Structure formats: C-alpha cells, structure tokens
A and B are shown apart, each in its own frame.
Chain A
Amino acid sequence: MITLEQKNFEEIEKMTKGYNRLLVLGCETCAAMSFAGGQRQVAELASAIRVARKTSGEQGEVLEEAIARQCEPEFVDLIKDDVAGCDAVLSLACGAGVQLLAERFPDKVILPGCNTLFLGVTEELGVWSERCAGCGNCILDKTAGLCPIARCAKQLLNGPCGGSMNGKCEISKDVDCVWQLIIDRLDRLNRLEMLEEIFPVKDWSPAGHGGPRKMIREDLKL
C-alpha cells in the first residue's frame, strides 16, 4: 500500500486559512489504512479545525466527506456537488488523489492534507516501512527478494558498503542494512555465489528518470 501521514496541524491551519467553507475529504483506501484519511481521521481533523477556528475567532464551516478512492475519477465525480458548495477542498489522500481532484475540479482550490511517504508494508499496527521504490524494473530475483533500491541508503546494487555494522546501516542503528539481510537470505537459500557477480549499472529510465510515467494497456483501454 501507499503510506501517508497527515501534515502537522500548524501547516494545515495555515494553508486552509481564509477558506470559509472548507471540505475535508477522506480517502478510504491507502489513506485510511495509514490512519491519515479515513472517516475517523476526517472527523478528528475537521473537529480540530473547527475548534481552532473557534479559538481564533475565524468564521466558516468545516464539512466532512469521504470517498473510497480519490485516485479514481468515478468516485471523485460522486462528490461534485459537495465540492461545488465549498471554497476549498482539503484532501486527505496521497498526492495522486489530490491531483486527480485538481484535474476534475479545475476551478476549485485543492489542498494537500497529507504527506505521501512510500510503498510499504505494515510491520505491525502503527508501524510501516518502505519496501519498493517503484523502479519500474524489478530486480528482486537477483537480490533474494529484498530490494536494495528501496532499502539501501545508497541504492547500492553491489553492496554492502563499508559502513555496514552489526547488521545495521551506517545511517542509523535503527535501520537494517538490507545487504546484510540479502546475504543472510542468500546464505539460507544456499545461493551465496550470486554475490560474486558484478551487478551491472541500472537503467533508471523506467524509474521515472525517463520523464513522467504512464502505463497503457491496449487490450484494456476504452
């Protein structure tokens, strides 16, 4: 899933200031699963904005709404009327959702209420970590199923560097050295010989360095 977190309240307060009728719009997929944009977080944030406005004497109404996914036009179009009736939308979705809103509602101010973080896994309730950087050309077959692009601080394809100590990355004792993990797993799989080969330089163009990415499936598109 895509993980995201709500922006801090001060930032949200500043960016929403002056928009009399503000619609706080949740996204009930990744954003909800990240506890950043589900109905509960919408209610909490909307209520917080109302209290803050009350305290500072600012006028205006804060409305609450949520849709299944802000990254799908059909869902977005379902809240046309709500959006029409407000001065700005504070989107609690990932950047993709915010932008689709902006596209569908060209005349409306759309504000991002969240920071989009990464593609990751839930380690446990309340703990998520990055696993994939969306590089467009997966190499996990060569790295024992652990991604050095997303999880090595230096994206080394021939790691680990000289900073790997006690299984931890040089940047922090809290960060696992993914290359240590790769080596451990290759060892377990009896494939340590894979490390002898020099991994060639990577083609970064499918990773987004070739310009904005788009995927078209001829067999599917309308």
Chain B
Amino acid sequence: MYDNNPVNAMEHPPCRVACPILTDVREYVQLIAERTFKEAYASIRKLNPLPRVCGRICTHPCETACKRGQVDEPIAIAALKRFASDGPWKGRYEADVPDKSTGHKVAVVGSGPAGLAAAHDLAILGHRITIFEALPVLGGMLRMGVPAYRLPKDVVDEEIQAILDLGVEVKTGVRIGEEINFTDLSEQGYKAVFVAIGAHKDQKLGIAGENEFEGVVSAVSFLRAVNQGQNPKTGKKVAVIGGGNTAVDSARCLLRMGAETVHIVYRRSGDEMPAAKEEIEEAVHEGVQIAYLTSPLEILGQNGKVSALKLMKNELGEPDASGRRSPKPVPGSEFTLDVDMVIAAIGQAPDSSFVADKLELTERKKRIIVKGPYTLVTTQPGVFAGGDAVTGPATVVEAISAGKRAAISIDLYLRGEPLPTIEPAEEVKREKLSPALVEKTRNFARCGKISLPAEDRLKGFDEVDAVLSEDLATKEALRCLHCFLGARIDKEKCISCLTCVRVCPLGIPTTNKMGEITIDPFACQACGMCVLECPVWAIDISLNFRSKIALEIEQVISRSQQAEPMIVGFFDLHGNFRSTDVKSLRQDYPNILPVMVFGLRRIDTCDILKAFESGADGVVLAGCPPDTDPFPETADRVKRRIAHARTLLDALGIDGARLEVCDMPEKGIVDKELIDGLIQRIKEPVQASSE
C-alpha cells in the first residue's frame, strides 16, 4: 500500500524525492528501457490512479530534479509516463479490491484529482465511497479547467471510469451546501468526509472599470464554458491578466476560438512566471504575446463595452515573502492597449462558504486549514481536506498526493487507529555533481516532441503533442543515469586493493589514507565495471546485480525446450531494438536463450563459464553499437575480458570459438549471419565425427 512518509533524499533518486506521490520513476524508466512496457505501466499505475493525465499535464518536478539535468537535459519523465500509460497494454492493470467491504461509508466532496485519488485508494482498502460533485461531470479542473488540446476529454473519462469500476458511487450535480447540507452527510451514514472542492472562485482584479463594462470575464468561468463546449463569446483583441497556467490556457483557448490578438499581462518577469515554461513557449509559438513587468491600472470602455486597458510598466524590487522579487511601478510609464475583452486570471480561491461554520479557514482566501500536511485532518473529527481547496491553485500531482494521504488517514481513522505524526523530510542540499564527472558523462540528446504545426493547432482543440514512439521512448529511458542503483561496498570484505578506484570510468570510488573506499551512491551511474573487477567480490550493485545475472542464466536454461544447440545470449539493452525484435528472435531462434543486461560490462568470465557449466553449447554476447554506449571507454576492456574467457575455454577443452562477441546491428537485435555462423561452428565438430 501507498506509504506517505517522506523518503530520504540520501538514499533515493532525486526524481522520486521530488515527486509528491513518490513515484518510482527510476523503476518504470528502467522497465521501459528493458522493453517491458506493461510492467512499466503497472509500476506507475500502482501509485498513480491518473497516469495518462499526469503523462500529459503533470508539471513534473521530477524532471527539474533529475540528475541528468546536471549533465545535459533531464530525462523526459512525463513523456515516458505517457508512453507507458497510453500504449495498448494499458488498462490491463488490475487493482486488488477486497471481496468484502469494511462497511464504512466515506463521502468525497469534489471529483477533481484529489477526490478521485482518495476514492481510488479508499475503494482498494475496501471502504464504500460516494463522490459528490456539484457539476454534471466528473474530473474537476481536469475537465473544466485544462483544455482538450493538452488533455483530451476521453483520456480523463477513461481514467475516471477505471476508478469508478472499483465500485465507487457518484452523485453528480449535487453541490454540498446546497442540495445536501454538509452536516447531513454524517446523518446519511458517512463516517468520514474528504473535502476536495478545489479552488474555482476567480479573484477580482480590483481596478476601476472591472464591474462596469461588458467583456470582463473570469478565467475559470471562461475555461469552464469552453470545456463544456458552450462556445463562449470571444473578443478580437483580448488581454489576459495573470501569469499562471489558467492565464496561459485561457490565452491559447482564445486563439483557437477566433481572437486575433491575445496579450498576457504579467506584473513580474518571465523568470517569476508560475505557468510551466513549456506552456509559455507553446503559447508564444502559437502567437500569444506576453507583456512582462506590466500591471493593469484601469479598464476603459465605450458604449458599455470594454475598449481599452490602461497599463503601467514595473521594475523588480526586493524579494517578497514568496521569495519572488516584487514588482514596483515605474512612474510615468503608463500606456494603453486597445482591447475588446479582458480575462482575469489572477488566482482562484475555494468556494468554502458552506463549511465556514464547521471548519477553520484562512482569513483572506478562505482556504481550508488542515492541522498536518500529511494527515490532512481538519478541526472537525472525521473531516479531512486536501487539494487546491487547502493549498490554493496548485498542481494535479499535488492534488493526487493529497487524495492519497487523505485515504491513509481516513482508513486509520475508520479503524480507530491513531494517526501518525509525520515530520516533513529535512530538505537535503545535495552537492552538485563535480564538473569532472559531468565532463566524463556521455551526453545523449533528450527526445524531441512531436507536435502539431501551429497553424493546424489553432483550427480546433486537437491534442497538440503526440505520444513518443517506442524507439524514442526506449532511447529516452536509456538516458537514465540509474541514481542510487549503483555500487555498494561491503567494508568487511574490502581489502583496499584499489581496483575499483582504478577501473571506474567516472572516477567515483575514492580512498583515504587507510584504504577505506567510498563510493558516492548518487554520483555512481551503475556501470558495473568495479563490481566485476573487485577480486574479492566486495562490491555489489542494484542494477543487474551479480546474483541476478547468475540466476537468470539458470532460469533461461531451465526454461529452455532443450533446443539444439543451446546458446545463451547476453544482449545489451542499449541496442537499437524493439520489444518485437526480442519476440521474433525467440521465434526464429528458440535455441537462443536471451539474458538482457545494461551493458556487456556486467558479464564476467564466471557468467560465461556458468552458462557452459549449466549445459549451454555456446554463448553469444551482443553489445550495443558504439554510438549508443554510455561508457564507450570500457568497450576495449570488455573485449579483452572476453578474449581471456576464450583462452580459458580453449584450455579447458571447449572450443573458444563457441564464445562469440559482436556489436548489435544499427537496427535490430542480432545479425542473423553471425548467429547462423556460430550455430554452424557448434554443430560442425559433431557432424564431422558422425560421418
């Protein structure tokens, strides 16, 4: 089950630590690299009930934190999530819902990502859930806020349906506080309530003319109308005031709905703008203009309609409480912009009036106050709250996180168990990678996006970005640097021989005067060189560890259909091949038993001998083409290692030619000619003697 304890940043990869739901990014990225996409999807889905949503619109703090970002560019984690979750294998994820319900009824108010996540996790825990949703459709801002060109509605619908399929009941069009009183919920038998009502009330601009003229619209209501297909009336020249996602999405919607010019007016500079950088870039690409360091002063009108916006330039002053530098007006910089529509997108607050007498709210923005950021308990026993309603406008993944935390708390509460006190993880200031290490790390370009051309985009609300192809996705996944999956030293075994210090292509292991070796688990990239060369096997590694490879050799051999001649094949996952190539290899050569590894660096003479010992007639090692090898400098050593193994085989009476090493072809997994040659070589002596 989901564990909401913060993870230790000294033991977990930064991508995971940065994720509010602690997604095991590294695991699913690795599973994609291994071409096991179904497993990758399962890995994501077990923590995240909305993977296809997150694969598209998550603000991906994981990418910001990703170690690769210090080298070239971060792994495209969100795009990989979308790849893993959009594929034909999706939906095969099956959650374990207990047969017997606990009998406890839980009310979830609001069907945004927070409410949905809570409902999902609580259903899996066996509770009976009812979602109350004021609007006629489910999804909260996913449906009413985020436009379809970023998040197609059928994607939202499908993900929600999967949650409802767990046995979650829904009541749409029921606004708590109106149709049903908040206090009535307990009378209706709901033992616990999760308030996840989001933040949907746009804030006023607070400038002259705001309430006087036709054509001044709140962003939330505008987007809601757009998302409901109501075709709201749109101006020709529009100003959108604000700098968040709501502002940017409003602007991009306006362009799609016929606006000729759209200006975003933002009071600080681009660096401070809260909307996602990619979104801003897309918007500009589509034609949105952005007036930075500009504040509205007054809305001017003619004949009762908006005609212009009076603006003023700012400069940045001292950092304010949020750490951002606050704008200061530049005297005499006033100017006007001709507009016929103004959209206010300067932040939203929850519509929490219906719980005002029950729950404690913040003074100004009326957000619901929770007593612990992990337990989400409110001042009222049995009532929990989370998502935008607590934090103010935030992100989908934070809302999901809140839903999941609430589920844990509610479950404990229902079972009469005390809620844990959880301290937020200490913020770890991790040292930057050394310039030497960055220098030594091979660069691989991040996968590009496949997007609709700008002119086609504006014709409608078709999704702008396409899902990654399998080729691109695997390539991208193979860029992962395997943080914290690397070498670990057993100090009791280590004899300070310094081999690891000498052999590491990145210079990670270091020694002190007494021969105590240290390997920085964050810096290590799990290449595996030291693991093999350590003469006393004092080092193990988490990625393709020694015993795992040995076990796999045993397993492939024991599973084999006694096909002749039996060949164990070690295949480097860094090759340019697809999951289907692996399948057809199995079909074409049932006698080749594949063991997939991250680099032939990991294959020891012992492994090769082990294969022969277990009955293999031959061994083939297929390395990736040199241009895809993250550690090309180790290739020569690997070749020499294999030459050593070959000499040994010759000496012990097995023809060394039964050990074949080769580079994979530019595309695909093996060169058939080479394999046929090896098979021939193995068969030949047998034929010769039988003649």
Contact = CB atoms under 8 A, between A and B. Distances in A.
Interface centre among A8, A9, A10, A47 (most CB of B within 10 A): A47
Main SS of chain B's interface residues? Answer: helix
Interface string A115-144: 000000010110000000000000000000
Contact of A54 (B534, B535, B613, B649): B613
A52 B535 contact: no
A55 interface: yes
Interface residues of A, number: 28
A190 interface: no
B536 A47 contact: no
B497 A32 contact: yes
- Of the four ranges (under 10, 10 to 19, 20 to 34, 35 or more), the interface on chain B belongs to 20 to 34
Interface in A1-18: 8-10, 13
Given A43-B606, A54-B613, A48 B652 contact: yes
A40 B534 contact: yes
A44 B605 contact: yes
B567 to A, nearest CB: 16
A10 B503 CA distance: 30
Contact of B613 (A8, A47, A66, A124): A47
A56 B653 CA distance: 8
A43 B651 CA distance: 17
A158 B653 CA distance: 51
B653 A55 contact: yes
A94 B620 CA distance: 35
Contact of B606 (A8, A29, A38, A44): A44
Contacts of B498: 122
Contact of B497 (A8, A13, A33, A66): A33
Contact of A41 (B495, B502, B535): B535
A40 B653 CA distance: 21
A125 B613 contact: no
B659 to A, nearest CB: 12
B374 to A, nearest CB: 45
B537 A39 contact: yes
Nearest to A68: B495
B648 interface: yes
Interface in B529-552: 532, 534-537
Interface string B386-426: 00000000000000000000000000000000000000000
Given A47-B613, A125-B502, A40 B537 contact: yes
A55 B503 contact: no
B653 A35 contact: no
B609 interface: yes
B83 interface: no
B535 A33 contact: yes
B606 A51 contact: no
Given A44-B609, A124-B502, A51 B652 contact: yes
Contacts of B652: 9, 13, 48-49, 51-52, 55
A33 B495 contact: yes
B200 to A, nearest CB: 64
B612 interface: yes
Nearest to B501: A125
Main SS of chain A's interface residues? Answer: helix
Nearest to A1: B497
Contacts of A124: 502
Interface in B500-536: 502-503, 532, 534-536
Given A44-B605, A125-B503, A32 B654 contact: no
Interface in B572-624: 604-606, 609-610, 612-613
Contacts of B604: 40, 44
A185 interface: no
B502 A38 contact: no
A213 to B, nearest CB: 27
Contacts of A44: 604-606, 609, 648
B495 A39 contact: no
B499 interface: yes
A122 B502 CA distance: 11
A13 B653 CA distance: 11
A51 to B, nearest CB: 5
A49 B613 CA distance: 10
B648 A48 contact: yes
B193 to A, nearest CB: 60
Nearest to A53: B652
Nearest to A36: B535
A33 B495 CA distance: 8
B613 A51 contact: yes
B537 A10 contact: no
Contacts of A33: 495, 497, 535
A42 to B, nearest CB: 10
Contacts of B503: 125
Interface string B648-663: 1101111000000000
A108 interface: no
B643 to A, nearest CB: 13
Contact of A47 (B537, B609, B651, B653): B609
A54 B617 CA distance: 12
Given A13-B652, A38-B534, A122-B498, 9 more contacts: A32-B535, A35-B535, A40-B535, A40-B606, A43-B606, A47-B606, A47-B610, A50-B613, A55-B652
18 contacts: A9-B651, A10-B651, A13-B651, A13-B652, A29-B495, A32-B497, A32-B536, A33-B495, A35-B535, A38-B536, A40-B537, A40-B606, A44-B604, A44-B648, A47-B610, A47-B613, A48-B651, A49-B652
Q: Which 9 A-B pairs have the closest CB atoms?
A: A38-B535, A52-B652, A9-B651, A47-B609, A125-B502, A32-B535, A38-B536, A55-B653, A33-B497
Interface of A: 8-10, 13, 28-29, 32-33, 35, 38-41, 43-44, 47-52, 54-56, 66, 122, 124-125
